[in-house]
Chain A
Amino acid sequence: MTAILEAKGLSASYGTNLVLHDIQIAIHPGEVVGLMGRNGMGKTTLIRSLLGLLPPRSGSVLLDGVDAASLKPFQRARAGIATVPEGRGIFASLSVRENLRFAARPGGAWTEERVLSVFPRLAERILHRGNHLSGGEQQMLAIGRALMTNPRLMILDEATEGLAPLIRDEIWHTIALVRDAGVAILVVDKTVSAVLSLADRVVVLVKGATVYSGAPDGLLRDPATMHRHLGVDG
C-alpha cells in the first residue's frame, strides 16, 4: 500500500547545522505512527520537513508516492495532511466558530456539528475568541480545526504538553476516536505510555537520526533504549 506521506533518506539543516540525517519514515492510510525522542532530537524539524516548511538538504518527501518537493505547505494540506502544531497555532483574534469554519473543507465526514459533538466544551464557547480559551480548550480547538479539513493524515506535535491530566486523557481519547474514524496519525508526544499504547509503529530519533523503527512491542522489550533515549525505566 502506498504511504500517504513518506520521508526517504531525508536530511535537513538550519543553515550549516545538519539536524536530520538520512531519515526513513512512512505513514500509511489508517495507521498510527509515534515519533519519539527527547527534546531537541529533531522531531519538530522532521515534521516541518514533511509539511514543506523546511526544504530537505538531501533525500525526499513523498506524498502518495510522488515527490512533493514542488508542493507548498498549503498544497500538502489540501492533499489531506492536517497539522496540530506545537503551541497549537490558534488564531487569537478569531472566535472558536471562525477558527473552525475558516479551516472547513466541505464534503467529508467531519462537519462543525460533529466536531462540536466531540468537543462539547467548544460548543459552549463558540463565540469566544481564541485567546480567551484555556490551554485545554485551545488544544481541543486545534484538533477540531484540523478535523474540519477532513484529513487523511493528522500530524499532532506535542498535543498534550502543558495540559492537566484530565484534559490529557480527553485529548488521548479523542485521538483514538480519530484513529477509529480511519484517519492516519503521526503523533509526537512525551507521554511514552500513551504513544506506545496507541501507535502501530514507533520511530525514535536521537540527534536527528533514527535509532529505533518498528512495533511498540519491540521497543517495550528493549529497556536499554527506553531508558537511554526516552528516559523511561521499565
Chain B
Amino acid sequence: MMINGVTLDDTFAEAFPMKATRAIITAQNEKWAMISAQAMTGFATSVIACGCEAGIERVLSPDETPDGRPGVAVMIYAMGGKGLAKQLETRAGQCVLTSPTSALFAGISGGKPIPLGKNLRYFGDGFQIAKKIGGKRYWRVPVMDGEFLTEATTGMVDAVGGGNFLVLAESQPQALAACEAAIDAMRQVPNVIMPFPGGVVRSGSKVGSKYKTLNASTNDAFCPTLKGVTETDLSAEIESVMEIVIDGLTKEDIAQAMRVGIQAVCDLGAAAGIRRISAGNYGGKLGPFHFHLQEIMA
C-alpha cells in the first residue's frame, strides 16, 4: 500500500492492556496549570523504567474545568491498578500539591475510584476540611499560598498501551519534521497520549539483549548506522527512523490517533523524504491488540 509516495508496510503495531486514569489540573492561569501538568507527567515515558506512562492530553478552557479556571488534562497509564494508584498519588503530592495556585480534580467519573487527594489531605495536619458537593468529596488543604483544593478520588479504567508506528525517512531532519506534523495532528484526538519526549521516540527497542541483565535493547533492525552489519529492515536510502507510541483509553482511540498521525506523515509524502511507515510488534504473541497499518489507512 502506498500513499503519496510513502509505502505502508504490511505489518501491525502490537499493544497491551493497561490501566489508565485522567486528572484535571487547574491554576490561576494556563501557564501555571501547564507547569504543574508538565511536572506531574515528567519522567513517565515508558513503563520499562518509569513506573508509568503519562502525558498531557489537552489544554482546557475555563468553562471546561470544575472551578472555572484554566486547566490541563493529564493521563497516566500503568500495567496494573496498584502501580497506577501509587504513581498518581506520588505525582499529585509532589508535583501538583506543590505547584502554586493549583487545584486537582477527577478526569474520569466512571471506573474504579482510586485516591487522588484522599490521602494528600493528611498534609493538612488536621486543618484540612472536607466538602461534599454534588455527590463528590473534595478536600481543602491549607497551604502557604492559600488552599489546595482537590477531589478525593478519580476513576481508573481499562485501557490500551503501546500503539505505535515508525517513520522511515531519507534524513534525520525529515523524519523529525514528519513526526512533529503527526504529533500536532494526533494531539487533537481525545483520550490518547504520546508519552515520549515531544511525543516522539528515537530509541525504539526490541525485546531482549545480549546482556543478561537487560530485557530490552536497541532495535538494531531499524538502526540506519547498522545497515551493513546486522539483519536490517532498512533499504539503502533510509537514513533515519523515528517512532510514535500511543496510549489510549480504547482500541478505537489508538486507531484514530494512528490514522491521523500516519495521514499527516503521508501528506508530506515522498517529496519530503518520507519513504516508509512501519510498526513495532512482537510477532503477535505478547499483546492482544493488533493495529494493522494498511487496515487503519484503508
**A joins B in a complex:** no
Q: Which residues of A are at the interface with B, using a C-beta cutoff of 8 A? A: none
Q: Which residues of B are at the interface with A, using a C-beta cutoff of 8 A? A: none
